[in-house]
Amino acid sequence: MDFFTEYGDANRILREVKLLRLLRHPNIVEIKHIMLPPSKREFKDLFVVFELMESDLHQVIKANDDLTREHHQFFLYQMLRAMKYMHTANVYHRDLKPKNILANANCKLKICDFGLARVSFSDSPTTVFFTDYVATRWYRAPELC
């Protein structure tokens, strides 16, 4: 599929790659490699290689009835750390939900899917305008409420 045919998809991919190349944090997924075609004429696909994570938080919650209070605390701690880092950089994810939080067997979490994220270039909340629409209606980021 030629990812340049859909403007919205190409824009989201570019936004995610740009943001993730700048955001370096233990609880944010890392881009390991970007695979480009050998020539500009053949540039129809872009392959982004992320670090390996075994699952997502949605699957962890769904599959484990025995998560303890310590698990919940550790999960919350990691998510808040990542959000503090992002918000300090004026980056707002806007689609934070369990499926966009990757997990591994050591209970380490990493936020992913920055396709709908936005950057605010001013600390003044009056100058920030984002569309209210995001793909997932069941979860709302605090900055959208």
Q: What is the pLDDT of residues 3-54, one digit of tens each?
A: 677 888 888 888 999 999 999 999 999 999 999 888 888 888 888 999 999 9
CA distance 71 to 82: 17
Is 28 part of a structural domain of the chain?
yes
CA distance 92 to 73: 23
- Given pLDDT bands bounded at 50, 70 and 90, which one contains residue 137? low
- 56 carries an active-site annotation: no
Query: Pick the catalytic residue: 2, 45, 95, 123?
Result: 95
Domain that holds residue 116: 7-144
Q: Given a cut of 90, is residue 91 above it in pLDDT?
A: yes
Q: What is the CATH number of the domain that holds 13?
A: 1.10.510.10
How many domains does the chain contain in total?
Answer: 1
Is 116 part of a structural domain of the chain?
yes
